[in-house]
Structure 1
Amino acid sequence: MTASPVAASETEAGVAGETGGRRAPLILRNRAFGAVWLGQVLTQAAIRMFQVGVSWWIVAYAVHDARGLASGLFMAACTLPAVVLAPVVAGAVARFAHRSVLRTAAGLAGGASAALALWAYGGGLPLATVYAAGLALATCQAFFDPCLTTSVPELVDDADIETATGFELSTQSLAGLGGALLGALTVDRAGVAGLAVGCAAAYAGAALLVASARFRTTAGDPADPVAAAAPPRRTLRRILGELPYVRRILVCFTAANLFTTAVFVVIPLYTRSVLRGGGGTVALLEASLGTGALVGAFTGARVPGRPTVAGAYCLALMALALALPGLVAHRLVIAGCLAVAGWCAGAVSVRFVALFQRLVPTADKPGFFAVMQAVLGASLPVASLVFGSAGDFLSPQTLCLVQGVGLIPAAVALALLGSPTPGPAVAEPSGGER
């Protein structure tokens, strides 16, 4: 990949920052990537804060009967756009300049948050309005996340792709941590109005950061003048059809997500019904999960073994961590279990997204990462509704045990996948991917 003058100047700045042969962190030596990464931190933190805060608001304040169903329905609404809009997202990412897509998504989300804040300050906030706001923010995020993943090669050199992937995936961990610390606590102190104001500020900051970054032009990119002469991109069905190894991995993780993502519905129910805690307890548990995922995102590349084997071990460990709170109802024990589960999720994400960056042809990446988000996200609304509804009839401890048991088949299936079959679209993984 030939670097542009912008990339070259940023590389020189990074070299100048080296001391004693040690390079500065990627986000410091590559200013464009640093700005876009920080923008993603803000957008992910905003939507996570909104989801955590509203889930707690529903369980603790807004709904008195069928709390599980109400919170599950909200989480389902927040996960539907990534699934339903996958073809639209893929088309937009492939057709328009990536910086424009990122900036527009963040700006529209900021406007939706500001509108909700004004409505909430006026009083009489209907539950349906909060659901609609969650749907709007999730729709904007459905465009932002795959577009940023696709944009990584436009921001960093090939040698930095894995490092950039680690930073990018750590965003979700940072967001989970931020949502844990701010979401429920903000609702306890300032209500939904204060929550919406914080989200609006974060989205506005993200839009400004993305607008300040300069993206290099790569072959096949919509901003490339010769892109129009490039061969037409393949359909989403054909992309996965020609990558059977990747397809099987996605199926395994889709099944696993049916049980792992239920934790976001279980945490507020567990806090209220079992621990008898408030927003501070929700913050502690969410912070434990987010901190573990953050550490996992930065250490995942060091986990030994093939990605499928390492992923299988991580899923098995996560199964144990999610099931233990069903047997031991102690706040610190549960916080530790969630930290372990978060680490497993972060480590697995880094290994496999970095692998996909190398296995998927460049021209197919816009469509692939959109369909990846859709395939993995397809289980989220189902898990939210099923576990939320079940939470009105089963104890949160029982739900924890179901989560742990449900992960075992996915771990076994992943371990049996083996290595990818060499082919024209399969590149030899490097570094930690060997």
Structure 2
Amino acid sequence: MTTATTDEARRLPLVLRNRAFGTVWLGQVLTQAAVRMFQVGVSWWLIAYAVSGGRGLASGLFMAVSTLPAVALAPVVARTVARFAHRSVLRTAAGAAGTAAAALAAWAYTSGLPLAAAYAATLALATCQAFFDPCLTTSVPELVDDEDIEAATGFEMSTQSLAGLGGALLGALIVDRAGVAGLAVGCAAAYLGAAVLIATARFRAADAPGEDAAQAAGEQRTLRGILADLPFVRRILICFTAANLFTTAVFVVIPLYTASVLHDGGGTVALLEASLGTGTLIGSFTGARVPGRPTVTGAWLLGAMAVVLAVPGLFAGRFVIAGCLVVAGWCVGVIGVRFVALFQRLVPAADKPGFFAVMQAVLGATFPLASLLFGLLGDQLSAQTLCLIQAAGLLPAACALALLREPAPDAPEPAAEAEPSPLVAAGGER
């Protein structure tokens, strides 16, 4: 009877049979849905209402600002996640974001909202999210058993797609109907709700790090040292950093394509964002079932993304681009699950706080550049041409990933002492 009950429990989804993980995961859904809703809504507000000339630059600059904290604060985030109780970090980040969103809502309701306030607000929300995301990823082993890590990773990665759906379906539509003030109210409610949920969750680690943990935090290796000892992982990050220069530009291209090619409003922005989010959601839940070695599978998926991103550049149509974004989102979801799960197993436990902070920073480093570049190009070239540029840019990254050779399953990665990290050499220690 006991065995049957245990087997039946194991068949339940992880978020239902593990209350602590389910609670924290729901909190992550709320925070990332809020930040995505804010990004989509304000980006559409800039293009459709606030700016008459240079709309591409205004939108691109806004998206660039929203990603700067994850890059600039990586060392601070790594130290914070290593030294403080993870539940406290998560709760504080969500609560601070909720407070910032509430302040913006009050400002927008009482007076006209200047552009500078919108940029400052997204900087504040992105700063909170820069602490929240890597801390949650690091906390996964504290919430689930080892055999559930891949399933937990799938649920965690699905948050990105759920957030995309929330932002797609609500962000632009709320702005069309209630302005930025209504948008900020919704974001504040989501963040504060997440803070309450996380405060009720039980983590396996103690709330206070204690002397041993504090000593370990003081002995954390530098981010340069972590990447130097993981050459295979480092090369993967380089490939995806290059790919992100073109994939993340989709968040600038979507509103520009809607306004200039389809000549539609916020409802179409919602449809396209929902298409991307739906595909990513499906990919997050099916990624563990996709066969093949991660690097080979990842290369094929990047190639597929190049194809589907090129199609809207050749054939304009609301449902053409929506269908292509579903496929592109599925590729993103599968890649996320396969590679984050791979990193969970390859990176030593002591290095995970630093690694996941630097991973977020490295992968996000190209986002400000991509946003500004494609925003500027959007004022000079058609949105369909931008789609073709995205597609062409993914092909070299796909080829580079396909050429990587994975280390033997039972052998640790050799340290690359004689080979400086290209990531660090390019911009100094992060």
Deviation of 1:227 (Å): 2.2
State the distance in 2 between where 1:187 and 1:15 align: 51
Deviation of 1:222 (Å): 6.3
| Percent of pairs with identical residues | 76
**Counterpart in 2 of 1:357?**
344
State yes or no: 1:259 paired with 2:243.
no
What is the CA deviation profile of residues 351-392 of structure 1, one whole-angstrom value per residue up to 9, with x for unaligned ones?
A: 000000000000000000000000000000000000001100
State the distance in 2 between where 1:325 and 1:251 align: 27
Q: Is the 8 A contact 1:27 1:33 kept in 2?
A: yes
Which of 373, 395, 419 is residue 382 of structure 2 equivalent to?
A: 395
**Counterpart in 2 of 1:366?**
353
State the distance in 2 between where 1:396 and 1:355 align: 36
State the distance in 1 between where 2:155 and 2:208 align: 25
**Counterpart in 1 of 2:81?**
93
Q: Is the 8 A contact 2:75 2:357 kept in 1?
A: yes
Q: Is the 8 A contact 1:50 1:196 kept in 2?
A: yes
Which of 39, 44, 64 is residue 51 of structure 1 equivalent to?
A: 39
TM-score for both structures, normalised by structure 1: 0.92
Which of 97, 107, 131 is residue 119 of structure 2 equivalent to?
A: 131
AA aligned to 1:345 is: V
TM-score for both structures, normalised by structure 2: 0.93
**Counterpart in 2 of 1:215?**
203
State the distance in 2 between where 1:309 and 1:328 align: 30
Count residues with an aligned counterpart. Answer: 411
**Counterpart in 2 of 1:165?**
153
SS in 1 for 2:291: coil
**Counterpart in 2 of 1:340?**
327
Change (3 A) 1:15 1:348: farther
State yes or no: 1:308 paired with 2:308.
no
**Residues 9-408 of structure 1: pairs in structure 2 closer than 5 A:** 16=5, 19=8, 23-217=11-205, 223=209, 226-228=212-214, 230=216, 232-408=219-395
State the distance in 2 between where 1:68 and 1:284 align: 20
Deviation of 1:423 (Å): 4.0
What is the CA deviation profile of residues 113-156 of structure 1, one whole-angstrom value per residue up to 9, with x for unaligned ones?
A: 00000000012110010000000000000000000000000000
**Counterpart in 2 of 1:416?**
403
AA aligned to 1:311 is: G
Deviation of 1:226 (Å): 3.0
**C-alpha RMSD of the superposition:** 1.7
State the distance in 2 between where 1:80 and 1:15 align: 50
SS in 2 for 1:226: helix
Q: Is the 8 A contact 1:112 1:133 kept in 2?
A: yes
State the distance in 1 between where 2:373 and 2:195 align: 35
State the distance in 1 between where 2:140 and 2:122 align: 27
Change (3 A) 1:66 1:228: closer
Structure 1, gaps ≥5 residues long: 1-11, 427-434
Deviation of 1:425 (Å): 5.6
Deviation of 1:255 (Å): 0.2
Q: Is the 8 A contact 1:101 1:147 kept in 2?
A: yes
Q: Is the 8 A contact 1:15 1:23 kept in 2?
A: no
Change (3 A) 1:228 1:120: closer
Q: Is the 8 A contact 2:83 2:213 kept in 1?
A: no
Structure 2, gaps ≥5 residues long: 415-430
Q: Is the 8 A contact 1:46 1:199 kept in 2?
A: yes
